[in-house]
């Protein structure tokens, strides 16, 4: 110790180095605190360079942010490294920002990992005119292909049969619900995008689904959060390499699928969204300079629709089945209502209005499952004074959807599975303002009506046919409702039995 002390006191280089480091820390910390002194949202004091990193649970940042909102209120600031983030918490703040100030809060923050794999193209991680055009095109084309209407209803009902066959093969024995649910939801988007579904045993399809899910899981890992904060320092980390390789392989497959469609394209007869895009691309190439209808936008629109639409819907359905196995008395009530109202015939979307309890269970599943806990990060498109605080243009914004879906001033029992949240005293279904699992405003989920239709038809058809129970030897109480770590919240790995009711 004394030797060390001697060395420290006698080495001029060390002293100079220490003085320099202290000065640097001082300057950076001054710059943080001087920014705070103007009228900006409050927040925990950041450390130089690290920001509030040490205070955050990087695997479940939404939890720490909810806790911080109790101390700092509904609009507060945290620093992820040196990146400043404004967090919006609770129904009122989130709704006011995303709906009443939709323009100002409507840009997407594109973190380094999503920039690496999308390069500003497509819908999810794009901004400006290109985003606007691609979003408009995807929405109107998906509507033309029946999103929210009978055409898609039939596709979902057809897919239900394949899904049930796959579950039937397990003959009531325990199985992991992940693959069947992901294949079924992915096939709905496939039929809208490509014009046809895939066979569940098609190796290319299996890989496309696996890679999309793996990337969503890896994108939420702690090491990717660190990469997003310090992209130049930790480019080499394993999870980034895995994500990039998965994305490259998927792009290769998608290009191949586009090529097959191109070779069989008939003018004026679109089988799916890809055909419509190619048609438009051909027209615009001749008439519009710098058209947005180019191949990169097509590729990333496709990968975005799959990434955003497969895992979210499949995970919600898996949560639904898990909750039914955990709370058999609620499953009893759903099945009773289905038997009385629908009987043995195929469920249809029109039945929803006569199935208030089942509808409430699906909504409550979405609320509690909280699939996208912090929405997808936004960015302010211009300076704004919001709830008395000044927020600069280009500031990253987290609309903390968890704090809306679990808002104590909006929900009677926010942390328990309680379908009564969506029922009035007479047992009729009621909408709730704070039900925002699809977010709101300019960036709200583009597939909301499709997802709602899928959730209703898949869930009811499965419950009509099967009784879902824990694996033998596992008590209902032991079914774990802790979610896996990832960009979206999926159930932890588990197995259920689907026992035929026929």
Segments in 288-372 forming alpha helices (H):
295-309, 311-326, 328-341, 356-369
Query: CB 401 → ligand HEM: shortest distance, Å?
Result: 6
> Binding of ligand HEM at residue 376 (CB under 6 A)?
yes
Q: Pick from 58, 167, 324, 375 the residue near ligand HEM by CB under 6 A.
A: 375
The DSSP H or E segment spanning 156 is helix 150-168
Which one among 90, 272, 447, 486 touches ligand HEM, defined by CB under 6 A? 447
Work out how close the CB of 436 gets to ligand HEM at its nearest, in angstroms, rounded to a whole number. Answer: 8
Tell me the C-alpha distance between 95 and 100, whole Å: 7
Stretches 160-168, 369-377, 403-411, 478-486: which one binds ligand HEM (CB under 6 A)?
369-377
234, 265, 444, 485: residue in contact with ligand HEM (rule CB under 6 A): 444
DSSP per position, 39-61: T----PPPBTTTBTGGGS-TTSH
Coil, helix or strand for 29?
helix
Identify the residue among 94, 189, 212, 347 touching ligand HEM (CB under 6 A). Answer: 189
Answer for the pair 80, 351: CB distance below 8 angstroms, yes or no. Answer: no
Which range binds ligand HEM by CB under 6 A, 87-95, 218-226, 371-379, 458-466?
Answer: 371-379
Cβ-contact 74, 93 below 8 angstroms: yes
User: Which residue number has the CB closest to ligand HEM?
Assistant: 447
Nearest-approach distance from CB 376 to ligand HEM, in angstroms: 4
Region from 275-283, 288-296, 312-320, 476-484 binding ligand HEM, contact rule CB under 6 A: 312-320
Q: What is the largest CA-CA distance in the chain?
A: 88
Binding mask 413-442 for ligand HEM (x = CB under 6 A): ------------------------xxx---
Binding part of the chain for ligand HEM, among 40-48, 237-245, 341-349, 372-380 by CB under 6 A, reads: 372-380
- Pairing mode, strands 75-80 and 495-500: unpaired
Q: Which of 276, 400, 446, 496 binds ligand HEM (CB under 6 A)?
A: 446
Q: Are 94 and 240 in contact (CB under 8 A)?
A: no
Quote the CA–CA distance of 271 and 258 in Å, as a whole number.
12
**Which of 301/479 has CB closer to ligand HEM?**
301
Residue 356 in contact with ligand HEM, rule: CB under 6 A? no
The rounded distance, in Å, linking the Cα atoms of 319 and 452 is 15
Paired residues of 379 in beta bridges: 107, 396
Q: Which stretch binds ligand HEM (CB under 6 A): 300-308, 336-344, 350-358, 388-396?
A: 300-308
Question: Counting beta carbons within 10 angstroms of the beta carbon of residue 97, is it exposed (0 to 12), middle (13 to 18) or buried (19 or more)?
Answer: buried
Nearer to ligand HEM by Cβ, of 419 and 470: the residue is 419
Q: Would you say 252 and 208 are in contact if contact means Cβ atoms under 8 Å apart?
A: no
Q: How far apart are CA 54 and CA 62, in angstroms?
A: 14
Determine contact, residues 378/445, Cβ cutoff 8 Å.
Answer: no
490 binds ligand HEM, rule: CB under 6 A = no
DSSP run (H or E) holding 139: helix 128-144
Provide the minimum distance between the beta carbon of 123 and ligand HEM in the complex, in angstroms, as a whole number.
Answer: 5
> Total number of residues binding ligand HEM (CB under 6 A)?
27
* CB-nearer residue toward ligand HEM: 212 or 375: 375
Using CB under 6 A as the criterion, which residues of the chain lie in contact with ligand HEM when the complex forms? Answer: 108, 123-124, 135, 189, 304-305, 308-309, 312-313, 316, 371-372, 375-376, 399, 437-439, 443-447, 450-451
């Amino acid at each position: 110790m004394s030797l060390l002390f001697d060395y420290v006191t006698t080495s001029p280089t060390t002293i100079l180095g220490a003085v320099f480091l202290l000065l640097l820390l001082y300057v950076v910390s001054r710059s943080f605190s001087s920014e705070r002194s103007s009228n900006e949202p409050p927040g925990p004091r950041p450390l130089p360079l690290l920001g509030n990193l040490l205070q955050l649970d990087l695997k479940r940042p939404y939890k720490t942010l909810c806790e911080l909102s109790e101390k700092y209120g509904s609009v507060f600031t945290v620093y992820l490294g040196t990146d400043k983030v404004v967090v919006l918490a609770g129904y009122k703040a989130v709704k006011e920002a995303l709906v009443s100030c939709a323009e100002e809060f409507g840009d997407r923050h594109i973190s380094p990992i999503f920039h690496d794999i999308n390069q500003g193209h497509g819908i999810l991680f794009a901004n400006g005119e290109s985003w606007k055009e691609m979003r408009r095109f995807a929405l109107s084309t998906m509507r033309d292909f029946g999103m929210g209407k009978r055409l898609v209803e039939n596709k979902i009902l057809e897919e239900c049969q394949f899904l049930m066959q796959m579950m039937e093969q397990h003959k009531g024995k325990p199985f992991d619900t992940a693959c069947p649910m992901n294949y079924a939801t992915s096939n709905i988007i496939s039929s809208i995008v490509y014009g046809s579904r895939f066979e569940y045993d098609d190796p290319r399809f299996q890989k496309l689904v696996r890679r999309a899910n793996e990337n969503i899981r890896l994108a939420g890992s702690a090491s990717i959060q660190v990469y997003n904060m310090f992209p130049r320092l930790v480019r080499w980390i394993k999870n980034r390499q895995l994500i990039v390789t998965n994305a490259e392989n998927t792009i290769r497959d998608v290009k191949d699928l586009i090529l097959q469609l191109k070779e069989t394209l008939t003018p004026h007869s679109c089988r799916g969204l890809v055909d419509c895009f190619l048609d438009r691309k051909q027209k615009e190439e001749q008439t519009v300079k710098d058209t947005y209808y180019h191949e990169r936008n097509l590729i990333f629109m496709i990968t975005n629709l799959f990434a955003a639409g497969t895992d979210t819907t499949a995970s919600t359905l898996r949560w639904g089945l898990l909750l039914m196995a955990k709370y058999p008395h609620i499953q009893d009530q759903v099945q009773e209502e289905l038997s009385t109202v629908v009987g043995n015939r195929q469920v249809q979307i029109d039945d929803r209005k006569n199935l208030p309890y089942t509808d409430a269970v699906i909504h409550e599943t979405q609320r509690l499952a909280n699939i996208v806990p912090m929405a997808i990060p936004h960015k302010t498109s211009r300076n704004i004074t919001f709830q008395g605080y000044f927020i600069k243009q280009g500031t990253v914004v987290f609309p903390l959807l968890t704090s809306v879906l679990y808002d104590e001033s909006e929900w009677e029992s926010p942390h328990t599975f309680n379908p009564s949240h969506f029922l009035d005293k007479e047992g009729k279904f009621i909408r709730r303002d704070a039900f925002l699992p699809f977010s709101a405003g300019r960036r709200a989920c583009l597939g909301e009506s499709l997802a709602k239709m899928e959730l209703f038809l898949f869930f009811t058809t499965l419950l009509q046919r099967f009784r879902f129970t824990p694996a033998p030897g596992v008590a209902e109480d032991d079914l774990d409702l802790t979610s896996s770590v990832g960009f979206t919240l999926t159930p932890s790995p588990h197995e259920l039995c689907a026992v035929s009711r026929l």
